[in-house]
Structure 1
Amino acid sequence: MESRHYIACWHGRLGRPRQALALHDELLLDRNAVFGEDHPPVVFSRMNICKFRGEAGDVQNALDAYRAPLPDVKRIRGEEHPNTLLVRLNIARFTWELGDPQGSLVLHKDLIEDQRRVNGADHPTVMISRYNMAMLRAELGDTAIALTELDTLLADRLTRYGNPLHPEVITTRYGRARVTAQAGDVAAAIQAIRTVLEDRARALGDQHPDTLAAASMLNDLLAM
């Protein structure tokens, strides 16, 4: 079952959320039959289903599905268990995707101190929260602070991963290009997103959703 879990997760990482969702649905049935509904692997499968449901486009149901079992996750895993913190991160993320950046920023602010205390300041999930908060601040109009935070995060991610083509490093550069355009420097944003597009194609493939998102952004900027 563990191998099936990793196969499903890798489908998601490769930009195939519907395939990942179908595999996690099947795995949940089998895990539930073997372990019982309160066993940690069963809870983790439920969380993965929520995640990939949102990434497949059903964001409202994903958010509702995350909120509903959060008390069970806290009871079974504990208030400060990494799984509990991951559920809170995804609740904050999908709140943002449903059009409430201010509410999402509040949730991220509440979350990140717990993440730092439990996981450490350089943990990948802490860096995800930092990225989200920078992008949220930009969306709320504070592009100068957002750019400063993204520059610091980029340096920290390069130190953490040691690879300029790591997807999280490229994502930080992608976000910085978006905020640069939002701040009015379209020429610099075009130059930055071209490099992001090339690196994503090299690291992830031409048809990965993140590569296609960078291509779409470049087209939008060139049309301005």
Structure 2
Amino acid sequence: EAIALGEQVLTDTERILGPDHPDTLRTRHNLAVSYGQAGRIHEAIALGEQVLTDTERILGPDHPDTLFSRSSLATFYRQAGRIHEALPLLRQVLADRERILGPQHPDTLTTRHNLATSYRQAGHTQDAIDLLQQVLADSERTLGPHHPNILASRNNLVTSYLDAGRTQDAINLSEQILADSERILGPHHPNTLQTRRNLASSYWQAGRTQDAINLQEQVLADRERILGPH
């Protein structure tokens, strides 16, 4: 429904405002995001590349809409498995946002987090850990220790610890995240269930098989009840 409406809006804005109007560019960008969310990733990339070219030409390379378009295109590349095209784009976005918005701006922190996730996906585990630890420290100072974004950064750091074989670090952090997630989001929130699953994986990797089984059985029962059996 979002795509159908977005395509209609784009047709109308191109006809009424013209193809180069900033509102047309934003509409085109929103449609590309909808394509990506629907799994139509090749259409998302094609439209995202067009939007980035147009915004750089019309609004300039440092305009917030241009930075947002560049970040979205990097996300599309990452979703398509084109990680080595996503990495330089994210590095550029991060450098631009640090220069224009400052190193502690929420958008800068989000970009740093996305770059760390891409590093992990590319197998650059230590780079991912170093960046996630920096993001976590900055986010806790800027947003506070209980912000939902903090929990997401911690969960990604757990996964990176597991990738690096740092199992005890992963367990310690997972147990802390789970306690915070249950208190802040509630015991049945999807993020809490994911955290519980990550902790079970950490237990399993550490050889604590029975602890892992017990926790996974709890996660499975909760997900079947909350999300449904299918």
- Give the equivalent residue in structure 1 for 2:177: 153
| Distance in structure 1 (CA, Å) of the matches to 2:169 and 2:187 | 25
TM-score by length of 2: 0.71
Q: Which residue identity does 1:183 align to in structure 2?
A: A
| Residues paired across the two proteins, number | 205
Aligned partners of 1:170 and 1:200 also within 8 Å: no
Worse-superposed segment, 175-184 or 126-135: 126-135
Instruction: Tell me the distance in 1 between the aligned counterparts of 2:130 and 2:180.
Output: 23
Q: One-letter code of the match for 1:134? A: V
Larger Rg: 2
Q: Give the one of 187, 193, 198 matched to 1:170.
A: 193
Query: Kindly tell me: are residues 33 and 193 of structure 1, through their superposed partners in 2, closer, same or farther at Cα, counting changes over 3 Å?
Result: farther
> Which of residues 76, 80, 89 is equivalent to 2:100?
76
1:62: how far off? 0.9
Q: 1:51 aligns with which of 45, 56, 75?
A: 75
CA RMSD for the aligned pairs?
Answer: 3.3
Structure 1: gaps spanning 5 or more residues: 207-224
Supply the AA of the counterpart residue of 2:193.
I
**How many percent of aligned residue pairs carry the same amino acid?**
31
- Cα 1:66–1:185 shift into 2, 3 Å: same
Does the C-alpha gap of structure 1 residues 111 and 144 become closer, same or farther in structure 2, counting only changes over 3 Å? same
State the structure with bigger RCO (CA 8 A, min sep 6), 1 or 2: 1
Post-superposition Cα deviations, 1:157-214, rounded to whole Å, max 9, x if no partner, equal 2333236132x222212211221221123354345445545628954995xxxxxxxx
Equivalent residues of 1:150, 1:172 under 8 A apart: yes
1:130 to 147, 150, 154: 154
Aligned match of 2:16: none
The whole-number CA distance in structure 2 between the counterparts of 1:197 and 1:56 is: 29
Distance 1:78 1:170, change over 3 A: same
